[in-house]
Amino acid sequence: MPNLNCPVINNYYLMRRCNRCSETKKGISFYNNKGRLSYTCKKCQYSLNSTWLKKHKLKRKRWDRNYRLQKEYGITTNQFNKILLKQNGKCRIRRSNSPGRGHENFNVDHKHGTKVVRGLLCFDCNTGIGKLKDNPVLIRRALRYLERN
Ligand SMILES: [Zn+2]
Ligand SMILES: [Zn+2]
């Protein structure tokens, strides 16, 4: 019988029940920290870690978005959501339900040079008025042009 107090030998000979998947596995399937085997097997530990990582990444992404919204437009994600709710979840111009072109969120349309938010627009509308320099004079002219022709 090998010396089971030796951590290395222990790894190979000791059977251990994982307290997560309840499978009994060889010691080698568990992480060994200075001779003490972990309670969960490597496989379970791995999936626990990746679940944590996914959650963490999502949290990080939300945090980043909130930061960007505040920095660029002076609004929080909560305020963004409130505006979207007021707009019934639709673009203010085209009334589309989707931000369009694979975008996850509607664009925050703001007065140039300021942080004054006018509303949320889909990608196409935001680009559209942007191409006409967000200029009511030009947009009115374009409107007259379209209606006359
Ligand atoms: Zn397990
Ligand atoms: Zn739109």
Distance 35 CA to ligand 2 centre (A): 62
The ligand whose atoms approach the alpha carbon of 16 most closely is 1
Q: List the one residue out of 147, 101, 104, 149 whose CA is nearest residue 127.
A: 101
CA separation (Å) from 12 to 8, 24, 42, 77, 102?
A: 7, 13, 14, 52, 51
Residue 14 DSSP label: -
pTM of structure: 0.67
**What's the pLDDT score for residue 36?**
85
| Predicted pLDDT at 88 | 97
Which superfamily does CATH assign the domain made up of 89-148 to? His-Me finger endonucleases (3.40.1800.10)
- Percent of the chain past pLDDT 70, that is, above it, reads 92
Collect the ranges in the chain with pLDDT lower than 70.
Answer: 1-12
For residue 92, report the distance from its CA to the centre of ligand 2, in Å.
Answer: 6
* Contact residues for 65 (Cβ-Cβ < 8 A; gap 6+): 77, 105
**What residues have a C-beta under 5 A from ligand 1, the ion?**
18, 20-21, 41, 44
The ranges of the chain annotated as CATH 3.40.1800.10 are 89-148
